[in-house]
A and B are shown apart, each in its own frame.
Chain A
Amino acid sequence: RKEVEQDPGPFNVPEGATVAFNCTYSNSASQSFFWYRQDCRKEPKLLMSVYSSGNEDGRFTAQLNRASQYISLLIRDSKLSDSATYLCVVNREPAGTASKLTFGTGTRLQVTL
């Protein structure tokens, strides 16, 4: 079983739609969680951290379910510029040590007119 699993997609959605991605992780001791965004032929960039209580940043909402070991990302009112690959990322190391991240293979989103 992969440490971090994502549906590769692609998710093709019209502009304005709401889309949700899920990600599952296998290591119950994982400490912190992130969503990164990667545009085509570019480097990954942090989109948002995922907190136990859930967090929201504009049109983006991230949720963590430790009991079921999954993370979700919800994008509301999709824009063309949201088209990218979204990487689910889990930190395997305890707090206080250098971060060692495990990356999912990514979910590709294509927003269309």
Chain B
Amino acid sequence: DVKVTQSSRYLVKRTGEKVFLECVQDMDHENMFWYRQDPGLGLRLIYFSYDVKMKEKGDIPEGYSVSREKKERFSLILESASTNQTSMYLCATTATDPLDEQYFGPGTRLTVT
């Protein structure tokens, strides 16, 4: 079974803080993704990575950066958290086959106050 873990289930941060969200997968998948999910907006892609040290912007990259130093780990960084970044953040992974399903982590509920 694919296992995707995220560093925290719930996180509360203050405006202006730097926030790190970590995602680790154990299936040797090449592709990893970060989404945020908001009511009425669905899941929106922030960034994805198809290889170590490779990254591409998704649909809403503003205010975020990512890091992929090892194949199994993909980090999302909020350089200076703002209240409009309060959301559920979901990491996902998939093998290179584009028709393969995406496996999601349990999510991190981030609240920025």
Residue-wise interface mask of B (23-37) relative to A, using a CB-CB cutoff of 8 A (1 in contact, 0 not) = 000000011000100
Chain B residues contacting A96 (CB-CB under 8 Å) are: 98
Could you tell me the distance in whole angstroms from the C-beta of A56 to the nearest C-beta in chain B? 18
The reply to whether B106 and A91 form a contact with Cβ atoms under 8 Å apart is no
Q: Which partner residue on chain A sits nearest B35 by CB separation?
A: A103
In the bound complex, what is the Cα–Cα distance between A31 and B104 (angstroms)?
21
Partner of B41, one of A42, A98, A105: A105
User: A-B pairs with CB below 8 Å: how many?
Assistant: 57
Could you tell me the distance in whole angstroms from the C-beta of A111 to the nearest C-beta in chain B? 22
The reply to whether B104 and A99 form a contact with Cβ atoms under 8 Å apart is no
Chain B interfacial residues counted at CB < 8 A:
24
Of the listed residues A44, A98, A104, the one surrounded by the most CB atoms of chain B closer than 10 A to its CB is A98
The reply to whether A101 and B50 form a contact with Cβ atoms under 8 Å apart is no
Is A43 in the interface zone, CB < 8 Å from B? yes
Other A-B pairs beyond A34-B101, A42-B106, A95-B99, 12, CB < 8 Å:
A44-B90, A46-B101, A49-B99, A87-B42, A91-B98, A91-B99, A98-B48, A98-B50, A99-B31, A99-B98, A100-B58, A103-B35
Chain B residues contacting A99 (CB-CB under 8 Å) are: 31, 94, 98-100, 102
Is A45 in the interface zone, CB < 8 Å from B? yes
Chain B residues contacting A101 (CB-CB under 8 Å) are: 45, 102
Contact A46 to B42, CB < 8 A, known contacts A98-B48, A98-B50, A99-B94: no
The reply to whether A93 and B98 form a contact with Cβ atoms under 8 Å apart is yes
Q: Which partner residue on chain A sits nearest B50 by CB separation?
A: A98
Chain B residues contacting A34 (CB-CB under 8 Å) are: 101
